[in-house]
Amino acid sequence: MFRLPWFRPDPPTPELLRAQVRAFSRQVPMMYALVLVNTIALSATHLHSSPALLTLGFPGLLGVISLARLMIWWRARKTVIDHAAARRLLRQTLVFAGVLGCGFTCWAFALFPYGDAFGKAHVVFYMAITAIGCVFCMMHMRAAALLLTAIVVGPITVFLLVSGNPVLSAIGFNMALVAVTMLVILLISYRDFSRLVESRRGLEERQAEIQSLSDDYLRLANLDVLTGLPNRRQFFARLQRVTDAAAVSGTRFAVGVIDLDGFKPVNDAYGHAIGDKVLVEAGDRLSRDHGQPLFVARLGGDEYGLIIEADLDAEALQRLGADLCAALREPYCFPGVTAQVSGSVGFAVYPRAAAAPELLYERADYALYHAKQNVRGAAVVFSADHETAIKASGLIEQALRHADMDAEFSLAFQPLVDIKSERTVGFEALARWTSPTLGVVSPGDFVPVAERSGLIARMSPVLLSWALKAATTWPDDVRLSFNLSARDIASPEQIARIVAIIEQSGVAPDRIDLEITETAVMRDFDQAARSLATLKALGVRIALDDFGAGYSSLSYVHRLPIDKLKIDGSFMRGLQAADKRRAIVKTILDLCRNLGLDCVVEGVEAPEQLALLQPLGCRVVQGFLFARPMPGEQVAGYLAAERDAPGEELRSAG
């Protein structure tokens, strides 16, 4: 009949099918109720004029079927129906629309001859009003509405038009107009309904896509991309939740911080690809079942965080830490490469160490720092002694921030002695501090605090200028050694200040040894290399201090412009002829000779130590055996006495 595109029956989508079922579940029960009520009314008006089969039997059968369909759709109002069930239910609706439409139409035509004029008018009215009501109730299913129109409205319209009765013909003409108008409205309504469903489906798809992206962003924001472990953000969010829950329940838990020992040399020696694999493997090992409920996160770099939601005492935490460190010490085997690293761990227990999550983490981090400084490769649990040390460090930091450098700081100079010529070849400048509130503070106490707080950046240029000023009064063959901190070589601006101070000092750069530690290099190797290259271009010599006490990575020796190695004084304590430490010292001395590097042995305090070193080819030493650090004004007298006194007498005086 119709050729416009919106009259063509398009195959319904799953969303449209479900939308039709939802709409029908509200409208079809009303349609069947309308049919039943109208049928009962029509049967009643013809009860005495028509056969019982037409007034009771046939409409009764159709009514039972209609009532059954009404109940099916009534139950569908509160039932979640899948796509297959929806398609099946709508197909049944189409079939029953045809069957019941034909049945009621035939029944009405059969009843028409038995009534009087009013009865015939009732039949026409019944068919017209019932058909229109049913078509509008089925407007969301275009095929059923069209089928019902064709079966009911079409025949009655034709019947009225050809009845020969002018009134009935006029009614038929009116019904034809109403039918056309109704169909246009129905099809437009169906089109809009379909578009609304499709629009809603598109909106839901976009919302689902947005939600998926949001979930991905949330996941990425809370996961470490490399290891797949929770990241720093998620670690602190969980720590806050666990702390809040523990505050309510009164339970205890522990926080741990793990740092890989020796990771930087592995990363430098084998490249970032192997370094990344080590980080992934380390995370996997920490995530194993270690007998305790562990939440493991990667905090950044080679640092991992732990939350142990269990009430463990210090001994149990030490055992857990030992287990974790043992897992990290296992070789990391990759194709063509076997790497070796270890780990140190610090623990802090809630609420004994701290009650706030940030402070609890800081306490665990302090315990880690203590482990790396004293028992590398092991576990340390934050204790009351650490709390005392933190308070002492806090006092030192406050005093440092308000210190008058000129009034409170000074330099002491310790000789570096050539044991063959028994002459001093240089002095190492060492900082000394006498605080008006704290008294004399050991460099071992205030230098680490100055490093951590960043105050060392203000102190180094001042102390270097003092040391260079003192060196201008020494003989030209006596060198100056000065220690640079990790913060010094990590800052291009600081290096520029140091270069300017040296250039303005009047001391020849080739008389200056600038000492760095392995730890300072490890923090940012690339920046350290650039800083040392700048200093080397100036003409100074670079010494690697405390060699052997840290990781002793030979990659630093060949990749950095190193001129000298200083063997850590810890090798001298209790040194014996058959001691492994003596063999290590010999190996380092041989290495320096092979590479053309100078070598200084620190911590020589006894003649017996010197006697063990001399056969190894040791040339330059530093220690109390020759002299303790002395004020700058005593250096001239010391050098004069050295020129005048035999070596044995000089060592006795030292």
pLDDT tens digits, 485-525: 988 998 999 999 999 999 999 999 999 999 988 777 766 77
Question: What is the model's pTM?
Answer: 0.58
Give me the pLDDT at residue 540, please.
96
Give me the pLDDT at residue 595, please.
86
pLDDT at 413 > cutoff 90: yes
Per the annotation, the verdict on 524 as an active-site residue is no
pLDDT at 217 > cutoff 70: no
pLDDT at 132 > cutoff 60: yes
Q: How far is CA 438 from the centre of its chain?
A: 43
Distance CA 117, CA 45 (A): 12
Give me the pLDDT at residue 584, please.
84
Q: What whole-number percentage of the chain has pLDDT above 90?
A: 37
pLDDT at 90 > cutoff 80: no
When pLDDT is cut at 50, 70 and 90, the band that residue 577 belongs to is: low
Distance CA 60, CA 110 (A): 15
Q: Is the dihedral of CA 37, 42, 46, 52 positive or negative?
A: negative
Q: Is the dihedral of CA 579, 582, 588, 590 positive or negative?
A: negative
Q: Point out the least confidently predicted range of 87-91, 302-306, 309-313, 637-641.
A: 87-91
Burial 455-483 (b: 16+ CB within 10 A, else e): bbbebbeebbbbbbebbeebeeebbbbbb
pLDDT at 70 > cutoff 90: no
Give me the pLDDT at residue 555, please.
61
Give me the pLDDT at residue 36, please.
84
Give me the pLDDT at residue 581, please.
77
Q: Structural domain boundaries of the chain?
A: 5-205, 232-382, 397-653
Identify the bridge partners of residue 296 per DSSP, sorted by sequence position: 306
Give me the pLDDT at residue 558, please.
72
Distance CA 509, CA 502 (A): 7
Could you tell me which of 519, 516, 522 has the C-alpha nearest to residue 495? 516
Give me the pLDDT at residue 298, please.
93
Give me the pLDDT at residue 471, please.
96
Rounded alpha-carbon distances, angstroms, from residue 29 to 149, 186, 650: 19, 19, 116
* Average pLDDT score over residue span 535-550: 86
**166-222 vs 154-161: helix crossing angle, rounded to 10:** 160
Q: What is the pLDDT of residues 7-38, one digit of tens each?
A: 344 445 666 666 777 776 677 777 778 888 88
Q: Point out the least confidently predicted range of 161-175, 420-434, 454-468.
A: 161-175
Run of H or E residues at 564: strand 564-567
* Average pLDDT score over residue span 53-71: 82
Q: Is residue 518 a contact partner of residue 546, using CB atoms and an 8 Å limit?
A: yes
Give me the pLDDT at residue 12, please.
57
Give me the pLDDT at residue 649, please.
43
Q: What whole-number percentage of the chain has pLDDT above 70?
A: 89
Could you tell me which of 128, 115, 129 has the C-alpha nearest to residue 172? 128
**What CATH class has 232-382?**
alpha beta
CATH 3.90.1010.10 correct for 397-653: no
* Average pLDDT score over residue span 558-568: 85
Report the mean per-residue pLDDT for the chain: 84
Give me the pLDDT at residue 2, please.
40
Could you tell me which of 554, 600, 568, 282 has the C-alpha nearest to residue 418? 600
Compute how many other C-beta atoms are within 10 angstroms of the C-beta atom of residue 387. 15
Give me the pLDDT at residue 123, please.
82
pLDDT at 631 > cutoff 90: yes
pLDDT at 3 > cutoff 50: no
Catalytic residue among 224, 259, 261, 302: 302
pLDDT at 252 > cutoff 50: yes
* Average pLDDT score over residue span 263-267: 83
User: Which tokens is 450 given?
Assistant: 């100055």
When pLDDT is cut at 50, 70 and 90, the band that residue 213 belongs to is: low
Q: Point out the least confidently predicted range of 51-65, 275-289, 548-562.
A: 548-562
